[in-house]
Chain A
Amino acid sequence: MVIDLDKCTGCGACMVSCMSENNVPFKEDESDKKLSITWMRVYKLTNGKSFPEAEIVYLPRPCQHCGGIGDHGHSPCVSVCPATATDYGYDTGIVSQIYTRCFGCRYCMGACPYHARHFNWWDPKWPEGMENYLSPNVSPRMRGVVEKCSFCYHRYQLAREQAIVEDREIEEKEYQTACTTACPAGAIVFGDLNNPAHKVHQIVKPDPHPDPMNHKVVGKSRNPKVFRLLERLGTNPKVYYMSDREWVRKAGDNYLKGEWENVKTHHGASSSHG
């Protein structure tokens, strides 16, 4: 997935689309965002300057579907789950989660630096009659378990069933996440990063080799405008962000004083081995 932060208007359509697609519940007071289940959360970043120089950017944050150090599939959350309630799909690169397996130790939440995982502190409750709009494609969760963005895996499943009966491969447009289809600005692009025919691949141009500057990192973008969140930790997310603004790209990770000047020009290993 690639998100163009310069196109994003922060309208929130992705969040709502996600919540209604995935049967995410809501409470009377959702203003405490640390207790608010939002698989897709839009952060607001500022450049710290004052009006009229002030600038903001909205940063939508789904689950980053990390590949873990060296992209071996040991995502921060997957490797710590004691009950194998979450795992890494080597076929799709999507981090799975079984809500009915999870027993709520919340270790995965602690391990995730993106706060992409949310705990059901309460029993999900819908106002009388509203459970009528719940979708059968995603099972409603119960109190006491962790949940997170699934890249709308059920949409993949449905597309796959159709492809199977029609005896063909899934097409790019057939499997798109709810946030992608909802975005009125077309800021989100979704597809198979490993498939050169897909738009995401063409935008990101992921570098298959480990980054010579940091061997934990694999799949760094060769596009100077594209970056990932906390890439230096070696989580190797599958969500890439894109912006023309340097301060935005810098905000994607942490840098020591003066460090940014050296790294900002370095994109993927393309320079060292094309």
Chain B
Amino acid sequence: MLDDALIPEGAKRCAFPIFIIGIIIVGAVLLWGVYAMFLCWFKGLNQTNMNDYYGFALWIWADLAVIAVGGGAFFTGLLKYIFKVDDLKNIINFAVIIGFICYSSALLILAIDIGQPLRGWFIFWHANVHSMLTEVAYCLSCYFAVLTIEFIPNILENRQVNKVPFFHHLAHNMHEVMAVFAATGAFLSFFHQGSLGGVAGVMFGRPFAYREGLLIWPWTFFLFTWSAAAFGPCFTLMVTKITEIITGKKLVGDKTVNLLAKISGWMITTYIIAKIIDTVYWAFVTVPSMGFELGHFYSNNGFYGYWILITEVILCGVVPGLLLINKSTRENPTTRTIAIILGVIGVCLNRWVMVLQIMAVPVMSFDSWALYIPSWQEVATTILPVAYGIILIAVAYRYLPVFPQELELNEPADAAAQN
């Protein structure tokens, strides 16, 4: 094959042309997104269907969602490097790559979303310390840097690059100090995941979003961090599963998978308990004090009903939680996969509610519900990161030793037979 020299030693990869064709197909989608992106930059945000009621819409949801699911990276990293859960070494690389993709996408989307991209840096230069968004911006960019650093050693392990002694040693040494970055990363993530929750929680003009809290942090701050830590691994596992299906190879050992699933399961369960408590308190204490009944937020409109609350909390929260903490269901691939998928849906739904439903709910007694359908430009720019992610994963998988267990898990049949 043309690119043999770059492929990790002993690893089997599909034929180069097939690989390229795949890339081209996904690349087409990518270009579509890029086109939409430039439309928004040059013609302005009138290209979207956002309006003065929907200042935040699909993009911000996508942002929160990818960051939430990208949370797998910091949490896995935390467990691996700080709590020394060594089994996770088999999936940590991949977790980091996914995190890298999610966070780079998030930054890209933000760059499209703001009305004046060339002034974007004001958020750092003229920072307002009271704003959750400032916190987000700082932590987000810092953590992205961290992820990049965490990603580099893996890149350096490429067969060719690694032959350069400098890089070889660099990679090695970076592995040594990775714990430090993991710690930093975990810390940063804790904050910006939280801040993203804070973004909604502090809006005391929006009863649907507003939450009381601890010191300057509304409860959503902690719930977001927690949910990211809980559902992030789900996403990591889901993507792993998908990669395995596509490559037709086992890439991560069941032991590791189950371990991560178990941890995730417990996180989800604890999170959802907290979430339920929060919701109940909000529904029966916070909101009534502002003159609203719970029903106000789930009626008199064409889309948002109680179903969304139930789906998020019960179907995509309690259910996956229980499925993953229960040994039998966890170790049964089918139920495990179902749980994982439900989990990912759950967290995305939560972010959706915390962005779009907030905007939709009328606050002034004489105002009315505002529903919104994104324009194709918004959709395209939202799919862009997905395409970009697929390509990056494909390339990384093809040329980097992402999965330490790949070889052992995929020994030639005869060898396997002998053992």
Answer whether A and B touch in the complex at a CB cut-off of 8 Å: yes
Alpha-carbon gap, A117 to B123, bound state (A): 20
Of listed A101, A107, A257, residue having the most chain B CB within 10 A? A107
Alpha-carbon gap, A101 to B412, bound state (A): 63
- On whether A79 and B130 interact (CB within 8 A), knowing A230-B364, A254-B291, A255-B291, the answer reads yes
A34, A83, A144: which contacts B45 (Cβ < 8 A)? A144
Alpha-carbon gap, A85 to B116, bound state (A): 13
A69, A84, A233, A254: which contacts B365 (Cβ < 8 A)? A254
- Contact residues, B98-124 vs A (CB, 8 A): 113-117, 119-120, 122-123
Are B52 and A118 closer than 8 Å at their CB atoms?
Answer: yes
Are A104 and B291 closer than 8 Å at their CB atoms?
Answer: no
A101, A234, A255: which contacts B122 (Cβ < 8 A)? A101
Interface string of A82-118 (1 = CB under 8 A from B): 1111000000000000000111111111111111011
- Contact residues, B290-314 vs A (CB, 8 A): 290-293, 296
Chain B contact-residue range equals 35 or more
Are A81 and B363 closer than 8 Å at their CB atoms?
Answer: no
Interface of A is mostly: loop
Interface of B is mostly: loop
Chain A contact-residue range equals 35 or more
Closest residue of A by beta carbon distance from B132: A80
| A128 CB within 8 Å of chain B | no
- On whether A107 and B131 interact (CB within 8 A), knowing A143-B115, A233-B204, the answer reads yes
Taking the nearest CB of chain B, how far is it from the CB of A255, in angstroms? 5
Taking the nearest CB of chain B, how far is it from the CB of A211, in angstroms? 13
Are A112 and B205 closer than 8 Å at their CB atoms?
Answer: yes
Interface string of B119-148 (1 = CB under 8 A from A): 110110111101111100100000000000
Q: Which residues on A sit within 8 Å (CB–CB) of B52? A: 34-35, 109, 115, 117-119
Alpha-carbon gap, A144 to B44, bound state (A): 7
Are B56 and A103 closer than 8 Å at their CB atoms?
Answer: no
Q: Which residues on B sit within 8 Å (CB–CB) of A69? A: 204
| B66 CB within 8 Å of chain A | no
Number of CB contacts from chain A to chain B under 8 A: 164
Alpha-carbon gap, A111 to B55, bound state (A): 10
- On whether A144 and B116 interact (CB within 8 A), knowing A82-B131, A107-B131, the answer reads yes
Alpha-carbon gap, A55 to B117, bound state (A): 47
The list of the 10 closest CB pairs from A to B, nearest first, reads A104-B115, A144-B115, A106-B55, A254-B291, A109-B55, A113-B205, A34-B51, A76-B205, A103-B119, A82-B133
**Which residues from chain B sit less than 8 Å from chain A, CB to CB?**
44-46, 50-56, 113-117, 119-120, 122-123, 125-128, 130-134, 137, 199, 202-207, 288-293, 296, 358-359, 363-367, 370
Q: List 29 A-B contacts (CB under 8 A).
A: A34-B51, A34-B370, A35-B52, A74-B130, A79-B130, A79-B202, A81-B131, A82-B133, A83-B119, A83-B127, A83-B128, A101-B122, A101-B126, A103-B117, A104-B114, A105-B115, A107-B199, A109-B55, A110-B55, A110-B203, A110-B358, A119-B55, A121-B45, A121-B46, A122-B46, A229-B364, A230-B363, A233-B363, A253-B365
13 A-B pairs besides A84-B128, A254-B292, A257-B293 with CB distance below 8 A are A43-B364, A45-B366, A79-B202, A82-B137, A110-B55, A110-B359, A117-B52, A146-B115, A230-B364, A232-B291, A233-B205, A235-B205, A253-B291
